[in-house]
Amino acid sequence: MEKSRKEKYIGRRMPRRDALVKAQGRAKYTADYRTADMLWGKAVFSGMAHARILRVDAAKAEALPGVVCVMTAKDLPAAKKYGIFCADKPVIAENMILYEGDPIAFIAAETKEIAEEAAALIEAEYEALPVVEDPREALRDDVPPIHENHPVTGNAKVMAEVTLDRGDVDAAFAEADIILEDDFETPQIEHVYLEPDCCIARWVDDTDVLEIVAPQQAVYSTLRALAPVFGLPESRVRFISPYVGGGFGGKEDSCCDLAVIAGLLAMKTRRKVYSEFTAEEVFRYTGKRHGSYVHHRMAATKDGRVIGLDIDIILDKGAYQSMSGLTGGPHAVAQRTVLYAAGPYSVENVRIRSRAVFTNHPYGAAMRGFGAPQIHFAGESQMNELAHRLNMDPVAIRKLNMITPERPTSFGQVLTEENGLGLEECMDKVKAELDKPFMPKHPVRPSQRRGMGLAAYIYGTGMPYKSEGAMCVVHVNRDASVEVGISTTEMGQGAQTVMAQIAAEALGVPVETVNVPLPDTFLSPDSGPTVASRSTTFVGNAILDACRKLLAGFTEAVAHGVGCSPEEVTYAKGVFAAPDGQEIPLRRAIYMAATQAIPQSAVGIWYPPVDIGFGPKGGNSMHTYSFGCQGIDLLLDVETGEIELLRSVLACDIGHALNPQLVEGQMEGGAVMGLGYALTEGVEYKKGVVSNDSMKDYVILGFKDLPQMTSIIVEAANCMGPFGAKGVGEPPLVATAPAVREAIRNASDGVKLNRIPFTPERVITGIYKAKEGGQTS
Amino acid sequence: MKKFSLMRPQTLEEALTILRDAPDVLPLNGGTDLMVDVNEGKLISPRFMYIGGLPELKKIEVRDGTLCFGGAVTYTELGACPDISAFPCIGQALSNLASPPIRNMGTPAGNMGTASPAGDFNLILLALGAEADLVSAAGMRTVPLSEFYLGVGKTVREKSELIAEIRIPLVKGQHSAFVKLGRRRGQDISRVSSAVSYLLDEGRIRDPRIAIGAVNAVPFRSGTFEEIVSGKTPDEAEAALEGAFPAEANPRRAYKRYVVTPMVRRAIREAQAQEGDWQWS
Amino acid sequence: MVMRLWVNGVEKEVQAEEDTMLIDLLRDRLHLTGTKKSCCSGECGACTVLVDGLPFRSCITPALVCEGRRVETIEGLGDAAHVHPIQQAFVDAGAVQCGFCTPGMILTAKALLEKNPEPTEEEIVEAMSGNFCRCTGYVKILDAVRSLVPYRPQEKEEKG
């Protein structure tokens, strides 16, 4: 698709429409709706990661004045377990604590202080059980399974196993000139969205509806997951999401953790209930990025062609399934690690196994990148090692291996230029930028060494399921203003803004007249969850579908009204033109439609027109993929292990930037989150309980850590995307960690660090071990 | 149960009387340590006495060749005092200590009281040979910083005492520097830190103070390192320390054995170019 | 007890317990919900308000110690009818994503620019370094503040 640009709104750097209300503090988040008449709902936890519950006694708590009710497991009215895909997480733990976030009671009190006092009065006795923290340890025969009676997996230790087996891996390794074999490790990661999880629940008495207001990412996922817990049909539970103060995948599940507290207490007390997690509780109880242990073997020719991959991945699943696939389907994160294991390269012989293993840690949930950052850390690190071994340029070796129309993906999907293959352009541009001279702002210390590195990525848009699609509804009012009903939540990515741009462009109306209300399951159809970098493409295409239907109807109405055939009527910039020269403005056409039983509202729907299906032998997985390249330039102090970032150069092929300012925002934010992944972040535990449960001890990057940031938008259009777009929310942080690893390797003359984060402690220990000739990490 | 109670004496005398009669009362300045403890449930319903506004504790002045500042002076207020140019390590510390909002609220005296092993300014005061006046209703005593800390969170301050004043001697020709190793650049707890001061006599180090923080339970000066560097030029001192490890240091984490000396050497090197700048008469 | 505070240029008398934190007084008693509650341990800066022109962590500041001091919240900068130039700069630069850090960022920028209307890049970074953001990667926030230099302070409108 050639560069646009006849479009009025598409491709424009339009300021987002919620920026002003947020900049003025007028934007309301869930906690801002709390009023003094609401009860305070609080869950009580055991402080233990693994225990049998012997006794819970709520009598003293119930007796405290100001406590309105206390619920324990025996008080649950309907389903006792829930989960986004699989109902395996206890609403209130009855017999077992499998991670610290399994609550033992819910309390509703008049004030927060009384609720906290009552929580301290809950009496409980436990039998402590051995805590299993390392999924590799969990697999040992002498370690009993965490789940004895899981609803899907019984007493299995492996929650899910996903495999890919193509070609002849053993033959490839037998004939290879070079074999690389390494172990890589990444920790669990916290989302650290600034808005702590919270929830307001209200039983609407005169319509028998449970109304829940909470920050979330998937109003329909939470509805489906929780209606059984409330014992209500989905049509009687209303989920509303106001502005969300950051999600990054975490608020897909964590919303449920709060909604069960407030919702059940609201139903029981028939009063409005507000519940929240403190920042510490978010750290301790909500889902995390899966930690990974990857055993990675690569077989290559001396010319640099990767001919075989043999990879074993173990993921720290934590205590519950969370991001499993559809019931009975493959585990989503495990599946993505397999899908992206070969990176953006065409490798014919692959044997990949990924197992999500239960532990007593917080459940592995969705987090930006969804398995791709973990596996790219391994794969791209080894690709860089191969380049070193063969003394080849890191970009050249990647070009040699990359997916082309002639060379399909490692899972057998053929991608053509129409799908958008922008990797080469991304790598060339990153390299060109890194090659430019750059002087550090401060004098370089004698102990500091300079190093640069890069890595590439592949990341699909959407989810690899046949049921993956989006619906929307577009209403055109009599005055030609438009409402777009979608369930996409606004968590900072700018969905409302870009959807308004798409609708305005498609309908030829001023963008200011397009309203995109915040999601509400009573008003918005199911657009699918706000995840997987899918909203612009899937929901955008659904909106285009609805707009096409509307315009087709209005065209028909005009044609009938003027007495010609619809093919003779044209529409541009808000005006219909009849063959006799008559001009009918949109408003008039709408009225004509209203008199002819032609709809002024349309349901739009979009499913990728690709045969999606991924199994152990591969298959088409997504309708399009983003490609990109991350370059890093840094100074390494070889005496202390300190890293000083100089430059981050990120190029992302995102098909087409519908709003370049929003795209840059995702790239910049993603790159910094990726740098934190590489350098400072990681959940730490003491006896299975999160020990760095605050922003003081869980370190994210700040202003002072920023290198010079360059974001390069590459547009290799996706023929199936709205105006050529691909997703951009997650790709920006997929390749950061291996790029940083490579830069450190080059700065230190060969220190190979295979565990992130690269804290000064890890780096200096690695430098010294390398000096002593040992394993560096 | 209240989160805390808060008394607000109007004068230092009033404050000291309260402390004499109710030693469980905790003096409160900016709250950057104590209020966090309240929010995190580490302090249950404490009785606070706010001293942050007491005029007697807000003075900053030069007196008898020392820079004196009161126990309620914030980091920001200290940083605005032009006389700190005599101590380059203070300027360095202030731009690396926590972040501006915390410096607007927090006080050197408060952090002395908290006695964290990683306290950046505690280290500075040690390296500059500071002393503090502890006052109570019964009187006053002066304690050099080198004798102030007893352990993690433990100091010689009695419950009835307040840190009324901290004094740093102004020394003509004094060089100083502060360095810290953290996980990120801004607002981070030091993992290893060092503050160094010395004079240069014809280019040779005299009266060195080498202070190391975030390694032992308390910030400490390394006498062994000070002996090594005395009489040497900074370059010679750096070279002499290479590969050495301060005998006084006892880090719990193994990697600190690699990085303590490089940090000290860095501080010595930086101090060479950083001579105190003041209106010596 | 009754507390007297100056908030956004207006003296307020508020009924509150002595252990009320400034952030809770602002949000719950005065219904000024623009100041956000996040880490509650003085780390993230989402709760930033200005006290006598200085950025403070309202989550760890007792309201009582602010009696007689000037407190400014994001609501004091502007509203739908009057957009403060710093707010406009954030909008134009794309410096707002989820918006939770934004009020704190804007107030910190205001404190900087009013004290130092022509800050260097380093001074901007230093001044903002106590405010954290998880969405933007900070780049466009810096763009927004830089775009205001040299800064012309606003005439204070008498309110209330």
The 10s digit of each residue's pLDDT in A710-736 is: 999 999 999 999 999 999 999 999 999
**Considering only alpha carbons, which residue of chain B is nearest residue A705?**
B185
- A695 and C43 within 8 Å at the Cβ level: the answer is yes
The four Cα atoms C97, C46, A33, C89 give a dihedral, to 10 degrees, of -40
CATH architecture of C85-147: Orthogonal Bundle (1.10)
Task: Give C-chain residues touching A116 at CB under 8 angstroms.
Answer: none
Q: What is the pLDDT of residues C131-145, one digit of tens each?
A: 999 999 999 999 999
Chain B partners of A447 at a C-beta cutoff of 8 Å?
262, 266
- Residue A86 φ then ψ, to 5°: -130, 130
Of the pLDDT bands very low, low, confident and very high (cuts 50, 70, 90), residue A6 is: confident
CA pseudo-torsion sign C53, A33, C65, B39? negative
- Please determine, for residue B185, whether its predicted confidence score (pLDDT) is greater than 70: yes
- Average model confidence (pLDDT) across chain A: 96
Instruction: Say whether pLDDT at B250 is over 60.
Output: yes
**Is there a contact between C130 and B186 if contact means CB atoms under 8 Å apart?**
yes
Tell me: pLDDT of A2 over 60: no
Q: What ipTM was reported for this prediction? A: 0.97
**Tokens found for residue B254:** 């193994």
- From chain B, pick out residues whose CB is under 8 angstroms from the CB of A703: 186
Residue B44 burial (C-beta neighbours within 10 Å; 0-12, 13-18, 19+): exposed
- Residue whose C-alpha is closest to residue A488's, from A478, A475, A476, A500: A500
Give the one of C43, C129, C136 whose C-beta lies nearest to A696's C-beta: C43
**Edge-to-edge strands, sheet with A625-637:** A448-460, A625-637, A643-653, A708-714
Mean of pLDDT values over A380-395: 98
Question: pLDDT value at position A85?
Answer: 86
pLDDT given for residue A329 in this prediction: 61
Contact call for residues C117 and C152 (beta carbons, < 8 A): yes
| Lowest-pLDDT choice from A172-186, A603-617, A683-697 | A603-617
Nearest to B187 by CA among C139, C110, A680, A741: A680
Q: What is the mean pLDDT of chain C?
A: 95
pLDDT band for position A643 (50/70/90)?
Answer: very high
Q: How many CB atoms within 10 Å of residue A412? A: 18
CATH number corresponding to B5-169: 3.30.465.10
Closest among A379, A415, A350, A370 to A164, alpha carbons compared: A350
CB of C49 within 8 A of CB of C22? yes
Question: Chain C partners of B6 at a C-beta cutoff of 8 Å?
Answer: 18-19, 62, 64-65
Residue C153 pLDDT: 82
What are the residues whose beta carbons fall under 8 Å from the beta carbon of A405, sequence distance 6 or more? Answer: A414, A415, A416, A417, A421
**CATH top-level class of C2-76:** alpha beta
Contacts of B102 in chain C (CB under 8 A): 42, 57, 130
Give the DSSP H/E element, type plus range, for residue A53.
strand A51-57
Q: What is the pLDDT of residue A137?
A: 97
- Chain B's closest residue to A758, CA to CA, is B183
The CATH class for the domain spanning B174-272 reads: alpha beta
For residues B52 and B72, the answer to whether their CB atoms sit within 8 Å is yes
Q: Which of C101, C137, C138 shows the shortest C-beta gap to A194? A: C101
Q: Which of residues 246-265 of A touch C (CB under 8 A)?
A: 246-248
* Rounded average pLDDT over A5-11: 88
Is the distance from CB of A29 to CB of C100 less than 8 angstroms?
A: yes
The nearest CA of chain C is from the CA of B76 a distance in Å of 10
End-to-end CA separation in angstroms for chain A: 47
Suggest the residue from A530, A703, A704, A705 to mutate for an interface test with chain C (most C CBs closer than 10 A).
A703
Across the interface, whether the CB atoms of A16 and C94 are under 8 A apart is answered yes
Read off the pLDDT band of C160 (50, 70, 90). very low
Q: Do C137 and A706 touch (CB under 8 A)?
A: yes
Tell me what percent of the residues of chain B surpass a pLDDT of 70: 100
B→C interface, C-beta within 8 Å? 2-6, 8, 31-32, 35-36, 39-40, 48, 50, 52-53, 76, 95, 98-102, 104-105, 185-187
Alpha carbon distance A772, B10 (integer Å): 63
Six-digit token pair at C25?
């007084």
Compute the count of residue pairs across chains B and C with CB atoms less than 8 Å apart: 79
pLDDT of res. B280: 84
Q: Which residues in chain C are contacts of A16 at CB distance < 8 A?
A: 91, 94, 96
Residue C120, chain B, CB below 8 Å: the answer is: no
With an 8 Å Cβ cutoff, are A15 and C32 in contact?
Answer: no
Residue A326's pLDDT is 54
Q: Residue A289 contacts by C-beta under 8 Å, 6 or more apart in sequence? A: A188, A189, A190, A191, A249, A364, A365, A367, A369, A373, A374
Q: How far apart are CA A299 and CA A69, in angstroms?
A: 63
Average pLDDT of the segment spanning A437-443: 95
Q: Domains plus CATH for chain A?
A: 34-129+197-276 (3.90.1170.50), 291-463+612-771 (3.30.365.10), 469-606 (3.30.365.10)
Range from A4-18, A562-576, A645-659, B33-47 carrying the lowest mean pLDDT:
A4-18
Residue C3 Cα, gap to closest chain A Cα (Å): 19
Torsion of CA A502, A503, A508, A514, to 10 degrees: -120
Task: Give the model confidence (pLDDT) of C28-39 as tens digits.
Answer: 999 999 999 999
Please answer whether residues A298 and A308 qualify as being in contact, where contact means their C-beta atoms are separated by less than 8 angstroms: yes
What count of CB pairs under 8 Å joins A to B? Answer: 58
CB contacts, 8 Å: A27 with chain C: 99
Compute the distance between CA of residue A204 and CA of residue B132 in angstroms, rounded to an integer. Answer: 63
For B263, nearest residue in chain A (alpha carbons): A640
Are the beta carbons of A533 and A626 closer than 8 angstroms? yes
CA–CA gap between residue B122 and residue A657 (Å, rounded) = 52
Amino acid at position A230, single letter: F
Q: A18 to each of A498, A510, C75, how far by Cα in Å?
A: 12, 17, 16
Report the residue of chain B nearest C47, measured CA to CA. Answer: B101
Q: Is the pLDDT of residue C102 over 60?
A: yes
**What ranges do the domains of chain C cover?**
2-76, 85-147
Domain ranges in chain B are: 5-169, 174-272
Other C-beta atoms closer than 10 Å to the C-beta of A406 total 8
Q: Measure the CA angle with vertex A352, ends A350 and A358; round to 5°.
A: 175
* pLDDT score of A485: 98
Please answer yes or no on whether A760 and B183 come within 8 Å at the CB atom.
yes
Q: Which of A641, A679, A703 is the closest to B259 by Cβ?
A: A641
Q: Is C41 in CB contact (< 8 Å) with chain A?
A: yes
pLDDT of A311 reads 98
